[in-house]
Structure 1
Amino acid sequence: MQVVSISSLKGGVGKTSVTLGLASAALAAGIPTLVVDLDPHADATTGLGVRAGGQLDIGRLLKNARRADLAANTVPSGWVETAIEQNLAGSGAKPVLDVAMGSAFSGIYDRPDLGRRDLRRLSMLLSRVTGYGLVLIDCPPSLNGLTRMAWTASNRVLLVAEPGLFSVAGTERTMRAIELFKAEYAPGLQTAGIVANRVRSSSNEHTFRLAEMKQMFNELLLSPTIAEQANWQQIQGAAHAVHHWPGESARQASEYFDELLRSLVGAGRLRSRVARR
C-alpha cells in the first residue's frame, strides 16, 4: 500500500486540488484508494462529496488511535456513484474511493510540540487498514504536528508549488524540512517530486519561475505541470471528479493527473485504463 502525503508549507497553492485530482485519476484507473483529510479545514472531504452517516472524523480517530477502527469509519466518496453510472471504474469491479473525514477537531494536534508517540497516531490507524492500493493524505499548509504525523505514516511526500517567488522559496524550505525530518524520525521517507500547479503559459513570470524551479530541483520537478483551470472552482463546488466533468478543459486536466498518478504508483494499471477508453 503506497501512502503519499500531499504537502506544501505555503497555503493557497492548490494542494487540496492536486489531492482531489489524483483521487479522481485513481478512481478512473480502478485503484482502491483512501483519502485521509488531515487538514482541519476539511476541504477535501467537501470536494469528495462525502455524506457522513455517524462515522467518526479523523481527529477523533487520532485521539483514540490505539483502539479506534479507521476502516469502520471511512465514508465512500460521492464520486463513486457517478463512476458506476458512467462506467468509469475499470473492469466492472465496484470502485473504491473512501474518505477519512476531516474536521476542525484534528487541529488539537496541529502544534509544534508533538512527541514521537503522538507522531505515530496516524501510522497506528493505517496499520490496521487493508484493501487499498493507495492512500492520499491531504496535509495542512504548515510544518506543525499534523503534517509531521502524516510524514511519519507515509512512504513518500508529494510537494505542490505555484510558479511564484514565495511558493518556490517555500518549496525549498519544505525540501530542507523533509531532510531534517527523515534524519530524525523517518529514514525511509522519500520525496515523490514537486508538482507545479496553476501554471499560466501566457505569463512571463510563470515561465521564468518554472525555469528557476527546473534549475533548483532538477528531476524532482514533475512533468506535466498542471495548467490553471478556469472551471476548477465550478468542478469542486459541484463536488465532482475532474474525470467526470464534461468539456475539453476537464479532459486535458484529467490527462495531467493520470500522468502524475503514473509517477506515484506505476504505469501498468493506468495503461489498461487508457486502453479501455
Structure 2
Amino acid sequence: MQVVSISSLKGGVGKTSVTTGLASAALAAGIPTLVVDLDPHADASTALGVRPGEHLDIGRMLKAPRRARLADNVVPSGWVERANGKAPGGQSAATLDVAVGSAYTGIYDRPDLGRRDLRRLSAVLAGAEKYELVLIDCPPSLNGLTRMAWSASDKVILVAEPGLFSVAGTERTLRAIQLFRGEFAPNLSPAGIIANRVRSGSAEHTFRLAEMQSMFGELLLAPHIPEQANWQQIQGAAHSIHHWPGESARNAAALFDSLLANLLAAEGRQPAGAVRDHGRR
C-alpha cells in the first residue's frame, strides 16, 4: 500500500482537482484506492459523489482513531457504479472508497499539534490494508492536518500553478518536508511536483515552467495539466474525468493516467540543483 499526500501551501491551485484526477485514473486502472478528504471544506467528497450518512466522517474517526473501524465507515464513491457499468459483462473489481471530509477536522488544523496527535491518521489508516493506494487531500496550509497527513504518508505530491507566488510556495513546502522528515517522518519523500492549470499560450506560464524545471529538476513531473474550462462542471456533476464526454476530457484523462504511472514509479526524488531567485525578469 502506498499512502500519498497531495499538498499545496497556496490555495486555489487545483489541489483537489489533481486528487480527483488521480483517483479517476486509479479507478480506470482497477487499482483499489481510498481517498481521505482531510480538507475541512470537503470539496473532494462532493466531487467524488459521497455523503457521510450513517458513517463516521474522517474528523470523527480522528477523534477516536483506535476505535474508528475504517472499513465500516468509508463510503464507495459515486463514480464506481458508472465504472462497473462499463466493464465487460457488467462485472468489475473497481474499488474507490472515500473517508468523507467534514468541517469537524478543523479542530486539528492547528500549528501546535504534538507527536501523539500527529499519529492519529496513521492509527486510522491501520485499517486500510485492502487498498493499494491511499490519496490524502490536504488543506492548503502547513498546519496540523497537513502534518498529520505527512506523518501517515510514504510520499508527498505538491501541486503548483506556474506563477510567481505558487512557485515560491512550492519551494517553501519542499523545505518544510525536509524539516518534517528529519524530526517526525524519516521515510517520507517528495514524489514530485505537478504543474496544474497551465495555459500554453501564456508567456508567463512558459517562463515559470522553465524556472520550475531549473529549480526542481526531476521533481517536476510530466505531463503538465492544462487549464480545463469545464473542470468545475465535471466536479459539480460528481463525475470522474474518465467518464465525462468530449475530446478535452479524454485528453485530460490520458494525462492523469500518465501522472499516476509516474507517481507509482517514483522513488524518493530530490531536487536536481540549487534553488535560484524567484524575482521577475
Q: TM-score, normalised by structure 1?
A: 0.94
> Equivalences for 1:115-194 in 2 at 5 Å?
115-194=114-193
Q: Which amino acid aligns with 1:240?
A: H
Residue 65 of structure 2 aligns to a residue whose secondary structure is: coil
Q: What is the deviation of 1:52?
A: 3.2
- Asked if 1:200 is matched to 2:192, the reply is no
Give the equivalent residue in structure 1 for 2:276: none
Identity among equivalent positions (%) equals 74
Give the equivalent residue in structure 1 for 2:270: none
Q: What is the deviation of 1:130?
A: 1.6
Unaligned runs of 5+ in 2: 267-281
After superposition, the C-alpha distances for 1:253-274 in whole angstroms (9 at most, x for unaligned) are 001100010012249xxxxxxx
For the Cα contact (< 8 Å) 1:151–1:189, is it kept in 2? yes
Q: What is the deviation of 1:94?
A: 2.6
Give the equivalent residue in structure 2 for 1:34: 34
For the Cα contact (< 8 Å) 1:120–1:152, is it kept in 2? yes
Residue 258 of structure 1 aligns to a residue whose secondary structure is: helix
Matched length = 266
- Asked if 1:251 is matched to 2:250, the reply is yes
After superposition, the C-alpha distances for 1:140-165 in whole angstroms (9 at most, x for unaligned) are 00000000000000000000000000
After superposition, the C-alpha distances for 1:103-159 in whole angstroms (9 at most, x for unaligned) are 000000000000000000000011122210000000000000000000000000000
For the Cα contact (< 8 Å) 1:7–1:158, is it kept in 2? yes
For the Cα contact (< 8 Å) 2:84–2:92, is it kept in 1? no
Give the equivalent residue in structure 2 for 1:271: none
Give the equivalent residue in structure 2 for 1:77: 77
> Equivalences for 1:205-216 in 2 at 5 Å?
205-216=204-215
Runs (4+) off by over 4 Å: none
The alignment yields a C-alpha RMSD, in angstroms, of: 1.5
Q: Which amino acid aligns with 2:146?
A: T
Q: Which amino acid aligns with 2:184?
A: Y
Q: TM-score, normalised by structure 2?
A: 0.92
After superposition, the C-alpha distances for 1:164-187 in whole angstroms (9 at most, x for unaligned) are 000000000000000000000001
What is the CA–CA distance in structure 2 between the aligned matches of 1:96 and 1:227, rounded to whole Å?
27
After superposition, the C-alpha distances for 1:227-247 in whole angstroms (9 at most, x for unaligned) are 001111111110100000010
Cα 1:88–1:9 shift into 2, 3 Å:
farther
> Equivalences for 1:207-246 in 2 at 5 Å?
207-246=206-245
For the Cα contact (< 8 Å) 1:51–1:78, is it kept in 2? no
Cα 1:227–1:71 shift into 2, 3 Å:
same
For the Cα contact (< 8 Å) 2:71–2:128, is it kept in 1? yes
What is the CA–CA distance in structure 2 between the aligned matches of 1:120 and 1:51, rounded to whole Å?
26
What is the CA–CA distance in structure 2 between the aligned matches of 1:231 and 1:93, rounded to whole Å?
28
Unaligned runs of 5+ in 1: 268-277
Q: Which amino acid aligns with 2:158?
A: L
